[in-house]
Amino acid sequence: MSVGRLIETPDCVAEGCAYLVDIEPRFATAFDATGPLPLRRRPDGFAALLSAIVSQQVSVAAANAIWARLKAAKLTGPRKVLWATEEELRACGLSRQKVRYAKALAEARIRFADLRDAPDDEVVATLVEVPGIGRWTAEIYAMFSLGRADVFAPADLALQESARVLFDLPERPSEKALREMAAAWSPWRAVAARGLWAYYHVAKNREGIR
């Protein structure tokens, strides 16, 4: 199976935006408010996935602070994480649960290079086998580290709230409802996500994603 379109340059994002505006005029409202969307490409590999774990269920500011402490302590590689004590990782701001997740990721020995050529569903299925990596984390990795153009993360609360505001919904959509809603935005669902995160920042004056 093909991996489909990749988001590699700002031109890719612009192409996705044009497509979304054509099929759903409310995206034009969002993009007028946000201006050009960020590329949001990151390197792939262990550190990127560890960073996504750090971001789980904490604010963007808190995640940034924890990640900065991990980097300063040189605890962003698999061997260093394996060798680190719980106390060393906790001192950087990780909860006990996230310490377990970080070590499980280091022990998993994922072949990250192989994921570059794997279909989206296979990427997600491989990653969620690791304790502490749920579908949200796997989808964030696929979007930002692998550049997949048609991946979405409907469990994300900022995406749910942004969709509620932009589409004037009576309440925040559930993960299932937002996943169904986003199906219409294929094959550029990852650009729709970027747009909704950017719109969340405008509407709420808060960052929705690192």
Active-site residue (options: 44, 120, 150, 156): 156
96 sits in which H/E element: helix 96-108
Instruction: Tell me the β-bridge partners of 6.
Output: 148
170 exposed, middle or buried (CB, 10 Å; 0-12, 13-18, 19+)? exposed
**How large is the C-alpha radius of gyration of the chain?**
17
Cα–Cα distance, 68 to 65 (Å, whole number): 5
Query: Which H or E run contains 208?
Result: none
The distance of Cα 105 from the centroid of its chain, to the nearest Å, equals 17
Rounded CA separation 143/172 (Å) = 23
Q: Is 117 annotated as catalytic?
A: no
Give the whole-angstrom CA distance, residue 207 versus residue 159.
11
End-to-end Cα spacing for the chain: 30
Residue 121 burial (CB < 10 Å; 0-12/13-18/19+)?
exposed
What residues act catalytically? 156
